[in-house]
Structure 1
Amino acid sequence: MTETARSLVSEEDAVRAHWYGLLAHFLARQPHQDSLDIARSFEGDDTPLGKSVAAFAAAARAATVETADEEFHKLFYGVGRGELVPHGSFYLTGFLNEKPLAELRDDLAQLGVSRADDVKEPEDHIAALCDVMAGMIRGDFGPACHLERQAEFFSRHVAPWAVKFFEDLEGAKASSLYMPLGAIGRQFMEIEIESFRMLE
């Protein structure tokens, strides 16, 4: 993102992009030491979201790279399949690579976004969608998208399933470090849903 694009993003939207980026970072790959160190430094507050942030920091302090790696793979890969399948098509249809993914690819093409050659996961992975939302807010794909365009993409590809996914992450048997991250994701998505609803 250029300095000019960054200067056009409001402080409120920069915070929103930060939350999306945080979720994308920890859901795209297993946490390495630097990621755990960053999470350990987080400070919460007395809001529900702030309390979840504090819980995530505490969980990160209790974790090691090895335990975080093991948890990540139990949750998302496992033997044959992990405890959770973090893809929109699966949550919406019960199968991977279904119509919701095709519709998402059409909308991503309009944004000028395509999957990198070294990425194996389909584009409807929750981390990828959070990355796209952050990019739309920051202006990573050209001019920052106005709220109505963000709301349209969010309502089509994120809102129908993200809260349920994060609820499942909170309650997953393998979740320890990822339990409070699930709470952060659920609460943030609920805030986004309500905020976009106010535009209607």
Structure 2
Amino acid sequence: MRPSFPAAAAAAALLALSCAGASTQPLSLSPTPPGEPPEDYVPTGEIQTRGESTSFNAWRVVGPHVNMTRRPDGTWAGTLVGRNYILKPGRDGSLTAPGADLHFLRWGKELAVLGNLGDLKIRLRFQPGPGLPTPGGKVCRFNGNLVDCRVEEARAQPGIRLSGQAANLDEPLMPQLGLALLSITYIPLNQ
């Protein structure tokens, strides 16, 4: 059986990264909390940029271009960058659905989300670091598909504020952080 085009594209991207000299390792996805989601939404992490805010907790990711809820079976259901998905977690640090294939990886010193959402090719990169500490979290450079939290980069061009669990890129809460950043990086064309 041949892999589907999205799966083949993601595999090719992973192979290209491996050939570039950096080893890739899947990032662990956060475990599903026991019980049912709480009625009230209380965020534990937040991303602010361009006057917009996207937040998340163990059960939800909420923002202008995302509204995903984790179900008790571990799937994530809702809207992400203008499309509806039910994303199923894989053992390899991935979320997949018809028309979606996302891989959450450690690539050398960087973190990455690679794959596709419909016809969007996803290449999101995070460079961990202390950022520019502020009372409201850490400020990092945000340029295209790169969030760079090295101190020298944050001071040169700030652009994104990470607070709460979003600010911990050394031990990232995935897939929540990745979904939140995707929603601010890949804005739907019809918006």
TM-score w.r.t. the length of structure 1 is: 0.25
Higher relative contact order (CA 8 A, sep 6+): 1
Higher helix share: 1
